[in-house]
Structure formats: structure tokens, C-alpha cells
Structure 1
Amino acid sequence: MNPKIFKGRTVEEATEEALKTLNEELENLEIKILDTGRNGILGLGGHPAEIEVHILGGAKSESEKPKKSTRKPKKDTKSNKISTKKESNQEKKPKKEIKSKKDDAPVSVEKDPEIEKTVGKILNNLINATGLEADVYVREQMEEGSIVFELEGKDSGLLIGRRGETLSSLEYLVRLMASKTLDKRANIMIDVEDYRLRRKEKLENIAVKTAEKVSKTGKRITLEPMSPADRRIVHMALAELANVSTQSRGEGLHRKVVINPVDD
């Protein structure tokens, strides 16, 4: 089929719109970035991102698509420092450990050294190109089968952006670049000084408190617009509750999570 053009505030949002419209998984699409948008990796305003999408042969039908797995607990492990611009004399603070809701032991998955090396190089090149000062680390513990890279330094906060939008775009771009370079899917996550952990805890707290209110009043509540990653956190936080259900409504940047009461 002919290629289609999708736009969004970021490359990730444009890709999300493409996945939703075409009803395909990311691995079934060939994506060419026409314009990353003026915000790029610095979160600055400007024109939207634009991508060109081709559907590859052998795309899976909806019934064949695998279900997404739930997030495994993150462990306080950060080991390999890929490069250093400036060493700090201050001792690094220990990472907070995420406790699982269930007592399931995390599944041990071996890292791919080729992905680790390639992504580390890409990240360092991007950071150097922006003139920012940040160090790149690799955590020992993987999450959902993904290698976790962490950025730390006096300028690392600039890579987060509003509600993590810049961080999400950076992660997507690095993953795409690494996958193209290696000719295989690079499963990675990028975090900045535990931002994703803090954001996850905040969203889970909001979700639980809102669910309690919905259960007491019997009235649905619609949360503010969220990114796909944030909506997933809310859905997963309430997935096992019997007295409420969740669904996503809206289009594009205005897509929200709705928490509904469930009749006994």
C-alpha cells in the first residue's frame, strides 16, 4: 500500500496515532522520520513532528497480536557507566526499590551487549551534540526484557520535559536509531534520576484515590489527558479491582482515562 503521513507534537505521538489508525504493531511498520519537530530532544516548541509509514508484509491480525505484559518491579541496581563528562565528588544516592504487589520473583533476562554498546554510543552522541552535561549508566536489572539506561548530571533534568514528554521522545528516537543500526529490535528504556519511578508512584496514587471516590459515589470520573505510557500505568494500577473498570477515550493529545463504577 502507499505510504501514509502522520503528525504529532512528538515523533512518539505521531507513531501512536499511526499504530491506532492502521491497527498494527510497531514491528510491522517501516517508519521514516520526515521531521522530528522543533522540540526535538530539548522539549522546545515549534512545528509538529512528521513521519512516513509503510506497512510491511506479514503483518499480524488483531487476534494474533500478543498481549502486553505487566511491568516487573525495578531493582536498585545501576552498574556500568558508559561515559563520563565530569566526575562528581558527591556520593550517589541509592536508588529506591520498587516492591511488587505480588511476591513473584523477577525473571532474569540476559542483556544483549551489542544493544548496550550501540545505545550507549547513540545516547552519548546526542548528549554531546546538545552541549548538555549528563552521564550515562546501565542498570544491572532489566525491566520487561528491556535494558534500562539512566542519565544523571546537572543538566539531566532538561531531558525530562513537561510530564516526561521529552524523555519519551528521546527514548523512542534512540530505540528507533539503534534498531535501524543493528537491524533488530532494540528493547530499551531511558530514565533520568528515577523520574519514571516517581511519576509511576504519583499516577498510581492518583488512580487508587480516584477509584475509591468512584466506588463511593457510583459516578464515573475522567482524568486529565495523558500519554500512552501514563494511561497504561493507570490501567494496570486498577486492573485487579473488582469495583471499578477503566477505559481510554478521546483522540490524540486529548486521550484520557475514564474510571467507571462496576455494579455488583
Structure 2
Amino acid sequence: MNYIEKTGRTVDEAVESALKEMNLTRDQVEVEVLEEPTKGLFGILGGKPARVRVMKKDSPSERARELLEKVMQTMNLNVDIEVNEKNEKILININGPDLGILIGRRGETLDALQYLVNLSSNKNMEKRKRILIDIEGYRKRREETLKKLAYKLADKARQRGRNVVLEPMNSMERRIIHTALQDREDIYTFSEGEEPYRKIIIAPKK
């Protein structure tokens, strides 16, 4: 049951009774006061207790799954959605045939989908969780591609003695490049420009 109605001498007492029965904490529910308590004649006769409806909030992971299922259904895509929570992160893997349309050019569609799911799933939540979405292992493959590109362009910058400017990337992909090259002693990396056109510069050390 996602909600329960309870009565008590006070609103707080009714809410606590509902929380105990649902085995939930106050921040996991929404409370609707159906009736405020009233005192009867001389404070004894004819009084009415408080009555509340306590509803369980959907968690960010539940919201994310529901939203993605609706998107997939609208697009007539047959997929398997796997959701795993790790501390403050929610990892979502989507698997199925012909999902290139969800990835887009260099993952742009996937990044947009991830942004919207984060925005919607964390709305009005006291504790926000970062949601990471992957499709058919795309992000891992993209990471390996970026690392190889980083090594190749670092060698180019060192050999030519000139800066090499990469194409604009999102913050996640820039972090992969910076991390891949952070231990190189012959070059260094930095970013310049404004989002969404911010790019990495690989520069040889003099």
C-alpha cells in the first residue's frame, strides 16, 4: 500500500502511528491532513480526532525507472532496464536491440536523456542522487576511445612542440582526458571556453 489513513488526538500522533505501521521515516512520506482535531463540549464530549493520509514518496530510482519505461514505450523500443543504487549514485543500464537512436552522435542524445531523468527524478527530493545512464555499454567503449585519442594527441603535442586543441566535450569526457594524461611528465592539459563549447588543450612542457 502506498498510503494509509490514520487518526490520533493530534496530527503528529496520527502521523507517527502511520509511520510506524508503514515502517517509514518522515522524509520518506507526504502528509495530507484530512481533518484537524476538535475539542468537544467542556473539552470532553463530541470532540473529533485528527485524521491524516500518509503517502509514500517515490524514490529517485523508482521515478527514473518509471520515466524511462514511459519513454521506451512511446518510442516502441523493447528494452531491459537495470537499476542499481550505490551510495549517492543510481546506475541505470539499458539493453536491447537497435538502441543507437538513444545514444545519438557521440552520446549527445544519451547525455540529454540522462540530464532530463536527473532533473525529473530528483524534483522536490530532500536528498538528491546522481543518476548515470548507460546503453549497451556505450560509455565504457567511449571511455576507451577517448583514452586512446588522448595518448595519441599527447604524443603529437610533444613531437611537434605545439599545443593540440581537442573538439568541445562535456565535463565527463573532459575528465576522462585529464585523468588519462595526468601522470605524463612531458605534457600538461587544461580546459578553456564556455559550455557547451569548452575544450581541452594538450600542451607540451617547455
- TM-score, structure 2 normalization: 0.65
What is the CA distance between 1:181 and its match in structure 2? 5.0
Whole-angstrom distance in 2 between the partners of 1:182 and 1:145: 13
CA deviation string 1:128-164 (max 9, x = no partner): 2333222211257x4x952210111124221101110
| CA offset digits 1:62-112 (Å, max 9, x no partner) | xxxxxxxxxxxxxxxxxxxxxxxxxxxxxxxxxxxxxxxxxxxxxxxxxxx
Gaps of 5+ in 1: 1-112
* Correspondence list, 1:113-192, <5 A: 114-139=59-84, 142=86, 145-180=88-123, 182-192=125-135
Task: Give the total of aligned pairs.
Answer: 149
- Give secondary structure in 2 for the equivalent of 1:211: helix
Q: Do structure 1's residue 213 and structure 2's residue 159 form an aligned pair?
A: no
The structure-2 alpha-carbon separation of the partners of 1:209 and 1:150, relative to structure 1 and needing over 3 Å to count, comes to same
DSSP 3-state at the match of 1:215: helix
Cα separation, 2, equivalents of 1:249 and 1:115? 34
Distance in 1 (CA, whole Å) between partners of 2:123 and 2:98 is 28
Gaps of 5+ in 2: 1-57
- CA distance in 1: counterparts of 2:189 and 2:167, whole angstroms: 14
Closer/same/farther in 2, CA of residues 145 and 182 from structure 1, 3 Å limit:
closer
2:174 counterpart of 1:231? yes
Deviation at 1:254, TM superposition (A): 3.1
Write out per-residue CA displacement over residues 178-207 of structure 1, whole angstroms, 9 at most, x where no aligned residue: 110534312210000000000000001100
Q: Is the 8 A contact 1:138 1:150 kept in 2?
A: yes
Residues of 2 paired with 1:136 and 1:185: CA distance?
21
The yes-or-no answer on 1:199 pairing with 2:142 is yes
Confirm whether residue 250 of structure 1 aligns to residue 174 of structure 2: no
Q: Specify the code of the residue in structure 2 equivalent to 1:150.
A: N
Structure-2 change in CA distance of 1:262 and 1:145 (3 Å) = farther
Structure with higher strand content: 2
Q: C-alpha separation between the residues in 1 aligned to 2:196 and 2:63?
A: 32
Q: Distance in 2 between matches of 1:182 and 1:249?
A: 34
Q: Note if contact 2:88-2:129 (Cα within 8 Å) is conserved in structure 1.
A: no
Cα distance in 2 between the residues matched to 1:128 and 1:186: 25
2-structure distance, mates of 1:180, 1:153: 28
Q: Contact 2:94–2:133 (CA<8 Å) still a contact in 1?
A: yes
Contact preservation (8 Å) 1:149, 1:189: yes
Rg larger for: 2
Give me the whole-angstrom Cα distance separating, in 1, the residues matched to 2:103 and 2:114.
Answer: 11
Match for residue 47 of structure 2? none
| Structure 1 length-normalised TM | 0.52
Q: Over aligned residue pairs, what C-alpha RMSD do you find?
A: 2.2
The corresponding residue for 1:261 is 204
Between Structure 1 and Structure 2, the one with more helix by share is 2
